[in-house]
Amino acid sequence: MFNTIKILVTGASGQLGQCIQKVEMNYEKFDFYFADSKELNITKKGEIHDLFSNKQFDFVINCAAYTNVEQAEKNPKKAFEVNSEGVKNIAEVCKETNTTLIHISTDYVFDGQKKSPYTEEDIPNPINVYGKSKLMGEIFVQEILDEYFLIRTSWLYSEFGHNFFKSILKKSSVEEKLTVTISETGTPTNANDLAKFILDLIGMNTLDYGVFHYSNLGEATWFDFAKEILKHSGKLDTIKLEKTDNYAIFADRPKYSVLSKEKTVNIFKNSILDWSESFKKIKKG
Ligand SMILES: NC(=O)c1ccc[n+]([C@@H]2O[C@H](COP(=O)([O-])OP(=O)(O)OC[C@H]3O[C@@H](n4cnc5c(N)ncnc54)[C@H](OP(=O)(O)O)[C@@H]3O)[C@@H](O)[C@H]2O)c1
């Protein structure tokens, strides 16, 4: 017999939450409780307390976030409410209940001025509201807790939710020409790979807490990613794909936000796929 590990997943109906639900059956000693935003609003501390007074958890995987980068510029209050105050609430309840928090953050905490992959030791300097609100959430986690894994990731996509992969597929079914930016470089990350990494991490029973970077390997522009998506869906010959370095967006974005995975791989000895290799595994949606 083995001890069951009890895990709460917040924001469970979002992209990463759904990826975790997809792979959960591979982790038989884990007992999951999936809470979507209707059941558990992380901005309401009372709701978190209520849930924790009925159930005990060993881990919380916080997938709840306000992720609309453009809207965050127009509604900073909402972004900070969820990404900063909500995370503070979760961290405080984890502290009170001795629960380990796995919190997800973003490459957008960096300003993009660097020319080589960002390490966990690089100083964040976000240039948009979303990044600022996520950084404040990170600071709360680090101030409140000792036992946490803060995992920064980048450019998530999957068959679930809203993401670049799905929107390129959708646009390519109705438009003849797509114009995609070359002015940002990062790493597309298969959210299914991240979900598996998080659950493997729990299974390792490690005490190596702290900040870690996890994305797929390699780097690409959004144009490169769009090209791969069209190639994969057999549309590269029929759609005209154009580069631009002047795509109209409201929020500033880091020009370069590749994350170094050296620390993560050194400590957890996990293997990570190159982004284009991992992309081949995804369903066409
Ligand atoms: N997507 C990316 O490209 C990307 C890149 C880097 C890092 N990240 C980080 O990765 C994590 C997962 O992202 P994702 O792509 O899975 O995001 P997502 O699809 O937008 O999912 C976020 C989930 O959080 C929920 N949520 C929002 N406000 C909430 C609240 N107050 N209380 C509880 N739940 C709430 C949303 O529910 P409703 O829909 O019902 O509001 C949604 O289900 C986030 O921390 C994000 O910042 C994402």
Give the position, in ligand 1's atom list, of the atom nearest the Cα of 13: 43
Give the position, in ligand 1's atom list, of the atom nearest the Cα of 108: 6
- Tell me the C-alpha distance between 84 and 140, whole Å: 7
- Tell me the C-alpha distance between 75 and 116, whole Å: 32
Please compute, for residue 156, the number of CA atoms within 13 A of its CA located in the half-sphere on the CB side. 27
- Tell me the C-alpha distance between 5 and 22, whole Å: 18
Ligand 1 centre to CA of 241 (Å) is 29
In this prediction, residue 247 carries a pLDDT of 77
In this prediction, residue 160 carries a pLDDT of 97
Please compute, for residue 231, the number of CA atoms within 13 A of its CA located in the half-sphere on the CB side. 9
Ligand 1 centre to CA of 2 (Å) is 32
Cα-based angle 279, 218, 116 (whole degrees, multiple of 5): 150
Ligand 1 centre to CA of 37 (Å) is 10
- Tell me the C-alpha distance between 40 and 138, whole Å: 20
| Per-position pLDDT tens, the chain of length 285 | 568 999 999 999 999 999 999 999 999 999 999 999 999 999 999 999 999 999 999 999 999 999 999 999 999 999 999 999 999 999 999 999 999 999 999 999 999 999 999 999 999 999 999 999 999 999 999 999 999 999 999 999 999 999 999 999 999 999 999 999 999 999 999 999 999 999 999 999 999 999 999 999 999 999 999 999 999 999 999 999 999 998 778 899 999 999 999 999 999 999 999 999 999 998 654
- Tell me the C-alpha distance between 255 and 145, whole Å: 32
Burial of 168 per CB tally in 10 Å (0-12, 13-18, 19+): buried
Backbone angles phi, psi at 266, to 5 degrees: -65, -45
Give the position, in ligand 1's atom list, of the atom nearest the Cα of 134: 47
Give the position, in ligand 1's atom list, of the atom nearest the Cα of 17: 16
Encoded amino acid at 175, one letter: E
CB 27 within 8 A of CB 78: no
Ligand 1 centre to CA of 58 (Å) is 22
Q: Best of 67, 136, 165 to mutate for ligand 1, by most ligand atoms within 8 A of CB?
A: 67
pTM: 0.98
In this prediction, residue 226 carries a pLDDT of 98
In this prediction, residue 249 carries a pLDDT of 83
Ligand 1 centre to CA of 78 (Å) is 13
Domain 5-162+189-217+258-273 has CATH 3.40.50.720: yes
DSSP string, the chain: --PPEEEEEESTTSHHHHHHHHHGGG-TTEEEEEE-TTT--TT-HHHHHHHHHH---SEEEE------HHHHHH-HHHHHIIIIIIHHHHHHHHHHHT-EEEEEEEGGGS-S--SSPBPTTSPP---SHHHHHHHHHHHHHHHH-SSEEEEEE-SEE-SSSS-HHHHHHHHHTT-SEEEEE-S-EE--EEHHHHHHHHHHHHHHT----EEEE---BS-EEHHHHHHHHHHHTT-TTTSEEEEES----SS---SB-PBP-HHHHHHH-----BHHHHHTTS---
In this prediction, residue 246 carries a pLDDT of 82
Q: Atom 4 of ligand 1 has which residue's CA nearest to it?
A: 156
Backbone angles phi, psi at 37, to 5 degrees: -65, -20
Burial of 157 per CB tally in 10 Å (0-12, 13-18, 19+): buried
In this prediction, residue 285 carries a pLDDT of 47
Ligand 1 centre to CA of 257 (Å) is 19
In this prediction, residue 8 carries a pLDDT of 98
Report domain extents, the chain: 5-162+189-217+258-273
Give the position, in ligand 1's atom list, of the atom nearest the Cα of 12: 43
